[in-house]
Structure 1
Amino acid sequence: MDSLDADAPEDPADAPPRAGLTRNRVSVFALAVITLIVLVLCWRMTEPFVSALVWAVALAIVANGLHRRIARRVRRPNLSAGLTTALLAAVLLVLAAAIAPVMVEKAREGWEHLRSDEVRQRVDDLVRDRPTLARAVAWATKQMPSSDEMAKQLAPRLQGFLTGSMWGSVQLLVTFFALFYLLRDRELALRWLRSVLPLTARETSRIFKRVAEVVRASVLGTVLIAALQGLLGGLMFWWLGLPAPMLWGLVMFVLSILPVLGAAIVWIPAAGLLLLEGSWEKALILTLWGSIVVALVDNLLYPVLIGKQLRLHTLPAFIAIVGGLVAFGATGLVIGPLALAMGVALLEVWRRRLPAH
């Protein structure tokens, strides 16, 4: 009996696992590859809308208090989120609808004024006894295209401009579409994030709080600095006797919110017009005011304000803001400080988890 038991075949269940490929390992490997492919495809689909989604998240965080107040009076989640989204969209659209036509009209008037006989006469009087300036003005005049030439140059680019405008409209629609669901399903989204993040409940709450502080400081800081730039620009327009200082102050406020544009789009042409009219003292004052005072408000005060709100040193806050703008464009105003603050928060998590020795 012992010999028979010794010669009996071993039970496969009792045999030690063999090295190499097994059905389970192949299954896990295939699942990992499929997951990676799906994630890459999802990222490729989401990448064009990253800016829109970032701004949707930022608006959702900033408007959370407003949405809570509306939700206390309107008990239906869809209606309260819709009202909050519609209110934010109305504010932005009203500002754009009020300012855009004025800017276009003023730009057209300024262009026609530059090409008028009156300005030409003033330029001739200004440069009559200044040969160097006369050569520079003559060169600039030759470079200035006529209306027909400008139309011919702009015609090929019109399609690209229209395509970009349509894509910008799509991005805006995606922003407010996502904002609605972020407001309505905020608690559901936060619960899902808590379930997938490899953090404790206390660590997750700390990071969520940090993210909210960063976004509020970035967005509200941008609006505050833009308002200050518009105020400073409008006051200088009023002091120099330029027309419509309140209007142009409002225009500079709106343009200062967009880092690609900025208040310089307003005060640089104004300084040029003053120079062409012979008011070189006013042109110099406006240039110095815009390039030093207004620009420093944006480049220095904003990092100081954001760094104070985020409890970060001014230097890393400045690098995060400028680096974010360079890497991500306008969205970098949010992504840059947010990435820095989250990095600091995650380092704090590691510091607490790792032993001291």
Structure 2
Amino acid sequence: MLRTNISARALSGGLLDVLIRAGLITVLVLFCFQIFHPFLNLMLWALILAITLYPLHALIKRKLVNKDGHAATLIVVVALALLMVPIYLLGTSISESIQGTLAILKSDSLQIPLPSEKIASLPLIGQPLYDYWMQAATNMSSVFMKLMPYIKSIGLTLLGKMADVGVGFLLFIGALIIAGVFMAYGENGERSALAITSRLSGPERGPRITELCTATIRAVAQGVVGIAFIQMLLVGVGFVLMGVPGAGLLAMVALLMGIMQLPVLLVTLPVIAYVFATEGTTLATIVFGIYSLIAGMADNVLKPLMLGRGVDVPMPVILIGALGGMVSGGFIGLFIGPVALAVGYQLFWQWVQDQPSAEGLNETPQIDAVNETPKVEAMNDQRPL
């Protein structure tokens, strides 16, 4: 009885120690996550960029320079120089659009033609639409005063979205610089990733999971984000050279639509129609129309070339990842969402395919044809009853 009480006390004491240690570890993990959480998106984006650009880093190191730090610095400097061009064009376009709109409103040069009498004869909405149109054509100031609260609300929303885009660009630049640091220590990072995955999933599956994650990240980043960025540059250059109003904003819309796997032609076709309607049919507009059509359909040629190099990820997975990332993480989520969901998708199916074979579970004991007894070694152990 005494031994039983001592064993029970020892068991309860050991269980209490385990619970205390587990609680302390949980508190430490939560506290570390709370500290690291403000930098989570930045570090994830930097890791994605580093994994995507590391083959280029290895090529530059092998061909041009012989040091990891110099190769990483060269990639970061060139990438920042290339990023300044769309950022400058976007800022210039937004500034010109705002100034043009304010100038039109101040000069009272906005003239609305009188409505046709046929509009009043339309059923249901004809007469209210005719009255409202007539008021806007004859007394624009009163209509503008009525619409001012809605215009103010829409303007504040647009300003908020533009601020989010600006913050996204700043975070992207910071992530690119941190990615350069990651690439400079790429070999150490690879060994660390192998050690972590091997510790979590075993020494046999660890290298396979590391290779799977790396290939998926590169495939999604190059085949989705890379193609969308290329299309944005092609479309944006054409819009700027043709003098399309809001060229920077339209190029940004083309980038977002490319990441969400929507056809960029939804942006280029209305712009082509607008250019032909305002400029007429000239050699410049014809060349612009052909160029914009080719730029809008460039993803059909680039996707088989770039997506085929990595892991095959279904397009619905990319679309869901982009939409979900946009809702949950804003502009940065558009980049992180497809990559994270694609990695999770591939890991899930790898786990499904690596399940134990069902042949061992369906095996039945072999029956001897003469004695009609199962061939089980344990049954050969003849012990007295």
Normalising by the residue count of structure 1, what TM-score does the alignment of the two structures yield? 0.65
Change (3 A) 1:210 1:33: same
Aligned partners of 1:136, 1:223: CA distance in 2, in Å?
46
Q: Secondary structure at the match of 1:212?
A: helix
Q: Contact 2:217–2:343 at 8 Å: present in 1 too? A: no
Alignment partner of 2:52 out of 46, 50, 62: 62
Q: Contact 1:218–1:333 at 8 Å: present in 2 too? A: no
Number of the residue aligned with 2:373: none
Aligned partners of 1:305, 1:323: CA distance in 2, in Å?
26
Q: Does 2:75 match 1:84?
A: yes
Number of the residue aligned with 2:180: 180
The one-letter code sitting in structure 2 at the alignment partner of 1:311 is D
The one-letter code sitting in structure 1 at the alignment partner of 2:219 is A
Q: Secondary structure at the match of 2:37?
A: helix
Q: What aligned pairs does 1:259-338 form with structure 2 within 5 A after superposition?
A: 310-330=311-331, 331-338=333-340
Number of the residue aligned with 1:352: 354
Instruction: For residues 238-274 of structure 1, give each alpha carbon's deviation from its aligned partner in whole angstroms, at most 9, with x where no partner exists.
Output: 9xxx9525x9667633443246999889998998999
Aligned partners of 1:305, 1:145: CA distance in 2, in Å?
54
Shift of 1:96: 0.9
Q: Does 2:96 match 1:94?
A: no
Aligned partners of 1:231, 1:81: CA distance in 2, in Å?
27
Aligned partners of 1:258, 1:17: CA distance in 2, in Å?
63
Q: Contact 2:318–2:341 at 8 Å: present in 1 too? A: no
Aligned partners of 1:314, 1:70: CA distance in 2, in Å?
32
Q: Contact 1:320–1:337 at 8 Å: present in 2 too? A: yes
Percent identical: 16
Instruction: For residues 9-67 of structure 1, give each alpha carbon's deviation from its aligned partner in whole angstroms, at most 9, with x where no partner exists.
Output: 99xxxx86744432x54443333222211211222222222222222122112211221
The one-letter code sitting in structure 1 at the alignment partner of 2:327 is V
Alignment partner of 1:252 out of 250, 253, 257: 250
- Larger deviation, residues 170-179 vs 260-269: 260-269
Question: Gaps spanning 5+ residues in structure 1: where?
Answer: 1-8, 280-288
Number of the residue aligned with 2:38: 48
Aligned partners of 2:196, 2:342: CA distance in 1, in Å?
22
The one-letter code sitting in structure 1 at the alignment partner of 2:354 is R
Change (3 A) 1:234 1:82: closer
Normalising by the residue count of structure 2, what TM-score does the alignment of the two structures yield? 0.61
Question: Gaps spanning 5+ residues in structure 2: where?
Answer: 120-125, 281-288, 362-385
Aligned partners of 1:322, 1:299: CA distance in 2, in Å?
19
Aligned partners of 2:73, 2:236: CA distance in 1, in Å?
36
Q: Does 2:225 match 1:222?
A: yes
Q: Secondary structure at the match of 1:35?
A: helix
- Which has the larger share of helix? 1
Change (3 A) 1:253 1:299: same
Aligned partners of 1:80, 1:343: CA distance in 2, in Å?
33
Q: Contact 1:222–1:302 at 8 Å: present in 2 too? A: no
Shift of 1:351: 3.2
**Structural RMSD (CA):** 5.1
